[in-house]
């Protein structure tokens, strides 16, 4: 879109001209705007906690209530196997990262439309909008994580050295969530239909991920196909590092990581390509 | 100092207006919905809107000009001339269709006062957020914090959520943050169109200060007095092209002469540009002077307003005024001066008529300001300078009057008591 170069480190020169085809991601400029990124996250979190009566409690209520419902239906009634541990502990370790992903999916994809007034009035790298929304989910995640950790201790599951690998899996949820939101946020500006697809999509995606059931139910020869859903890698990783169950199945983890990175990269490129139309369309 | 700060070369911007925006039958809409997705999806993936179903129009067409470093340039033109689009392209909010612009220096854009303000955050919090959005660092805001708060005069309320602010306080704080932005190039759109006279004066003073500090300023306004006092040079846009470019005094005069609407006495305000949330709850659709007859000096002035309410509004009062072409208000007629205010229910529309026994404003050309206030003092609709009207000499106007510049704007007879030593001179 625009090329900015610095001469003698004093006067930045900006060339404004129509862009053609695919454009660069401008990561350096994004870095220069990191303070804005911080303020957008801070605004979203602050406003959410100010506007809602229960505030931070929502971060806990959502996964905990899902856990109770899942435990009653899938654990007690359907008696789904849970890798030999309490179904409560089994499901909450999936529901907490899932909540982070679901937040990215719904908030992230509406982020551009929701910030239309900014986009029409000020220039800043547009990528900051979905990125801040997705990273903002980390605050809720941290709260839910503490609750999950307490529950696991209650169920007699003590942390092992494997927990050190958890940040990698948190990165994987963020990459997946951001990749999908970049695609959806850009598409949502052009086609407002997207907004109606998202709740439906989130629900289907959850069935396709080992939230209520264990991925050990999937036959070994189909694991690679199953792993094309990056949330499979995330949830398997969470269970592996928090519960200490099973082994990491590389046949599903590798495709998960690959697809997550692919989604992020193509999402960012597509977003940048469509970006120039945002101010005219939102 | 003579280095070029902004170099605009053959800049054009085309907008596509979806044909959907125009009237279409239900059957067409449905069949479009069935057939279009695939076609639209395909063109969308190529990075284009749905071309087949759109109408094109050029908001800017082959615009070229240079701005030297430290120059203060006013951009003038009628609504729809492309002024705002030009500013949006130069501040990188939207991309040009063809052409290019080269900008040397950090750009600060102020297209709207209070962009990104959040009602649920406090004044202090909004200062930091708005500052970050406009491109100021946290350290910069910390350094200027006291100065900004003092300029905005909101010391006691700085930790109150801005949704509890009066609209005046809100505007003052928002402008104060923006005014303390210190970019090398400042791009400002019609921010002076909101707020009361005192606030506007303060803003104008601050703008003048910015201009004197050797920074490059691009300034859009309908306020010709502001343009004349702030800018050395003016670029006049008309239908997306540069019509005139030169010293401000000469161009502004020419602009004012050219824009005189030939005493049309009906003013349509349905599509007029409104700022803020004016016209959302209550709207003046149009107004007519003297039932379509010309406005005459020294005669009765009749104004009928057609309005429409989109919400229940209370304590409503109407007002109109005439300002000089440079934006100084010369007279005001208000419906609530020693008279009751009214309640208008959502969905109601009607016609309100105002009569003034004698219009004493000198014959000449004036800007018309129209507004409606609600009981809490906030404006429901406000259109400053929405039309230019001409007051023609009436039957009682002395023949020489229209040429009497020294008489000011109102020349009255009054009652005079002469001493007996003076004799009436009948010649």
Query: pLDDT tens for residues A191-230?
Result: 877 888 899 999 999 999 999 998 888 888 888 899 899 9
Residue of B270, B285, B274, B309 lying closest to B383 (CA atoms): B274
- Interface A-B: count of C-beta contacts within 8 A: 109
List where CATH 2.70.50.60 sits in chain B. 266-404
Helix axes A166-190, A194-207, angle to 10 degrees: 150
pLDDT confidence of residue B61 = 93
Chain B contacts of A281, Cβ < 8 Å? 49
Q: How confident is the model at residue B172 (pLDDT cuts 50, 70, 90)?
A: confident
Put simply, whether A196 touches B (Cβ < 8 Å) is no
Put simply, whether A39 touches B (Cβ < 8 Å) is yes
pLDDT confidence of residue A116 = 87
Cβ distance A12 to B125 less than 8 Å, yes or no, reads no
Contact B106, B183 (CB under 8 A): yes
Q: Who's near B222: CB < 8 A, 6+ residues apart?
A: B76, B190, B193, B327, B384, B385
Separation of alpha carbons B396 and A158, rounded Å? 99
Q: What is the DSSP letter of B161?
A: B
Cβ-nearest to A120 among B93, B97, B134: B93
Nearest CA in chain B to A46: B121
Identify the CATH number of the domain defined by range B4-12+60-258: 3.40.50.300
Chain B contacts of A35, Cβ < 8 Å? 132, 137-138
Cβ distance B133 to A122 less than 8 Å, yes or no, reads yes
Cβ-nearest to B93 among A35, A42, A123: A123
Contact A181, A109 (CB under 8 A): yes
Q: Is A37 left (phi over 0), alpha (psi -120 to 50) or beta?
A: alpha
The predicted model scores a pTM of: 0.72
List where CATH 3.40.50.300 sits in chain B. 4-12+60-258
State the sign of the Cα–Cα–Cα–Cα dihedral A123, A126, A127, A129: positive
Contact A94, A235 (CB under 8 A): yes
Helix axes B138-152, B167-179, angle to 10 degrees: 140
Would you mind telling me the total number of residues written for chain B in this entry?
427
Residue with the larger pLDDT of the pair A102 and A78: A102
Residues forming a β-bridge with B383: B370
pLDDT at B22 exceeding the cut of 50 = no
Residue B365 neighbours by CB distance under 10 Å? 17
Put simply, whether A12 touches B (Cβ < 8 Å) is yes
Give domain B266-404's CATH superfamily: abc- transporter (atp binding component) like domain (2.70.50.60)
Q: How confident is the model at residue B24 (pLDDT cuts 50, 70, 90)?
A: very low
> Domain-by-domain residue ranges, chain A?
26-281
Contact B190, B112 (CB under 8 A): no
Separation of alpha carbons A258 and A264, rounded Å? 10
Contact B306, B415 (CB under 8 A): no
Mean pLDDT of B49-65: 74
User: To probe the interface with A, which of B57, B100, B133 has the most A CB atoms within 10 Å?
Assistant: B133
Put simply, whether A120 touches B (Cβ < 8 Å) is yes
* Least Cα separation, residue B163 to chain A (angstroms): 13
Q: How confident is the model at residue A47 (pLDDT cuts 50, 70, 90)?
A: confident
Q: Residue B291, SS3?
A: helix
Cβ-nearest to A122 among B49, B115, B137: B115
Task: Give the tens place of pLDDT for each residue, B371-381.
Answer: 999 888 788 99
Chain A contacts of B88, Cβ < 8 Å? 279
- Kindly report the backbone phi and psi dihedral angles of residue B385, in degrees, each rounded to the nearest multiple of 5, phi listed first: 60, 35
Nearest CA in chain A to B18: A281
Which range, of A20-29, A110-119, B335-344, B358-367, averages the lowest pLDDT? A20-29
Separation of alpha carbons B204 and B206, rounded Å? 5
Q: What is the DSSP letter of A73?
A: I
pLDDT at A10 exceeding the cut of 90 = no
The most confident of the ranges A26-30, A254-258, B39-43, B190-194 is: A254-258
Put simply, whether A197 touches B (Cβ < 8 Å) is no
Put simply, whether A23 touches B (Cβ < 8 Å) is no
Beta strands in chain A (DSSP E): 2-7, 11-16
* Least Cα separation, residue B336 to chain A (angstroms): 35
Separation of alpha carbons B148 and B172, rounded Å? 10
Strands laid side by side in the B216-220 sheet: B107-110, B185-189, B216-220, B72-76, B233-238, B241-247
Chain B contacts of A122, Cβ < 8 Å? 91, 93, 109, 111, 115-116, 133-134
CA angle B137–B143–B144, rounded 5-degree value: 95
Query: Average pLDDT over chain A, rounded to whole?
Result: 87
Cβ distance A16 to B101 less than 8 Å, yes or no, reads yes
* Least Cα separation, residue B105 to chain A (angstroms): 5
Cβ distance A35 to B137 less than 8 Å, yes or no, reads yes
Nearest CA in chain B to A126: B93
Q: What is the DSSP letter of A156?
A: T
pLDDT confidence of residue A176 = 96
Separation of alpha carbons B116 and B133, rounded Å? 7
Cβ distance B109 to A123 less than 8 Å, yes or no, reads yes
Separation of alpha carbons A236 and A247, rounded Å? 9
């Amino acid at each position: 879109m625009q090329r900015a170069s610095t001469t003698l480190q004093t006067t930045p020169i900006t060339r404004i001209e129509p862009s053609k085809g695919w454009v660069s991601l401008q990561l350096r400029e994004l870095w220069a705007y990191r303070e804005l990124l911080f303020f957008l996250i801070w605004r979203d979190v602050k406003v959410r906690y100010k506007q809602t009566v229960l505030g931070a409690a929502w971060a806990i209520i959502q996964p905990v209530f899902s856990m109770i419902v899942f435990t009653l239906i899938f654990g007690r009634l359907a008696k789904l196997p849970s890798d030999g541990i309490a179904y409560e502990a089994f499901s909450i370790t999936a529901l907490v990262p899932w909540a982070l992903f679901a937040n990215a999916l719904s908030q992230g994809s509406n982020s551009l439309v929701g910030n239309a007034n900014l986009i029409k009035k000020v220039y800043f790298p547009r990528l900051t909008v979905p990125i801040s929304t997705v990273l903002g989910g980390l605050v809720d995640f941290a709260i839910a994580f503490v609750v999950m950790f307490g529950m696991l201790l209650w169920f007699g599951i003590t942390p092992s050295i494997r927990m050190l690998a958890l940040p990698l899996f948190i990165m994987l949820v963020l990459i997946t969530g951001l990749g999908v939101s970049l695609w959806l946020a850009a598409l949502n500006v052009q086609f407002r239909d997207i907004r109606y697809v998202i709740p439906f999509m989130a629900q289907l995606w959850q069935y396709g991920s080992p939230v209520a059931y264990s991925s050990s139910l999937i036959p070994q020869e189909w694991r690679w196909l199953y792993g094309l859903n990056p949330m499979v890698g995330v949830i398997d990783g969470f269970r592996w590092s928090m519960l200490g169950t099973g082994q990491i199945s590389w046949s599903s983890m590798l495709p998960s990581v690959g697809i997550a990175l692919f989604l992020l990269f193509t999402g960012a490129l597509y977003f940048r390509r469509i970006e120039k139309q945002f101010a005219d369309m939102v | 100092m003579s280095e070029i700060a902004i170099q605009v070369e053959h800049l054009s911007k085309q907008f596509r207006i979806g044909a959907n925006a125009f009237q279409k039958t239900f059957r067409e809409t449905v069949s479009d919905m069935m057939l279009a997705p695939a076609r639209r999806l395909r063109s969308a993936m190529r990075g284009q809107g749905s071309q087949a179903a759109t109408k094109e129009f050029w908001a800017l067409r082959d615009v070229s000009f240079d701005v030297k470093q430290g120059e203060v340039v006013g951009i003038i033109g009628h609504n729809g001339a492309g002024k705002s689009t030009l500013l949006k392209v130069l501040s990188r909010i939207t991309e040009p269709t063809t052409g290019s612009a080269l900008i040397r220096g950090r750009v600060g854009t102020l297209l709207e006062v209070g962009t990104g303000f959040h009602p649920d955050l406090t004044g202090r919090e909004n200062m930091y957020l708005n500052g970050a959005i406009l491109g100021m660092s946290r350290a910069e805001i910390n350094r200027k914090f006291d100065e900004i708060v003092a300029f905005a005069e909101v010391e006691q309320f700085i930790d109150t959520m801005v949704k509890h602010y009066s609209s005046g306080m809100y505007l003052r704080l928002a402008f104060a943050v923006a005014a303390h932005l210190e970019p090398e190039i400042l791009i400002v759109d019609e921010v002076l169109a909101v707020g009361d006279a005192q606030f506007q004066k303060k803003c104008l003073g601050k703008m003048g200060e910015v201009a004197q500090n050797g920074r490059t300023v691009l300034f859009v306004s309908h306020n010709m007095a502001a343009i004349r006092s702030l800018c050395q040079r003016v670029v006049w846009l008309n239908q997306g092209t540069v019509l005139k470019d030169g010293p401000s005094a000469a161009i502004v005069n020419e602009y004012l002469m050219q824009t005189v609407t030939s005493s049309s006495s009906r003013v349509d305000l349905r599509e007029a540009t409104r700022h803020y949330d004016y016209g959302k709850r209550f709207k003046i659709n149009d107004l007519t002077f003297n039932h379509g007859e010309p406005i005459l000096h020294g005669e009765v002035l009749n104004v009928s307003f057609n309005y429409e309410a989109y919400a229940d509004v209370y304590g409503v009062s109407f007002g109109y005024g005439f300002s000089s072409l440079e934006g100084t208000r010369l007279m005001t007629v208000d419906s609530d001066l020693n008279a009751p205010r009214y309640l208008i229910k959502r969905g109601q529309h009607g016609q309100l008529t105002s009569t003034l026994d004698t219009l004493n404003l000198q014959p000449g050309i004036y800007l018309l300001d129209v507004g409606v206030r609600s009981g809490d003092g906030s404006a429901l609709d406000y259109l400053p300078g929405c039309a230019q009207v001409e007051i023609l000499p009436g039957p009682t106007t002395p023949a020489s009057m229209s040429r009497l510049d020294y008489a000011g704007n109102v020349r009255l007879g009054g009652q005079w008591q002469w001493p007996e030593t003076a004799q009436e001179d009948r010649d």
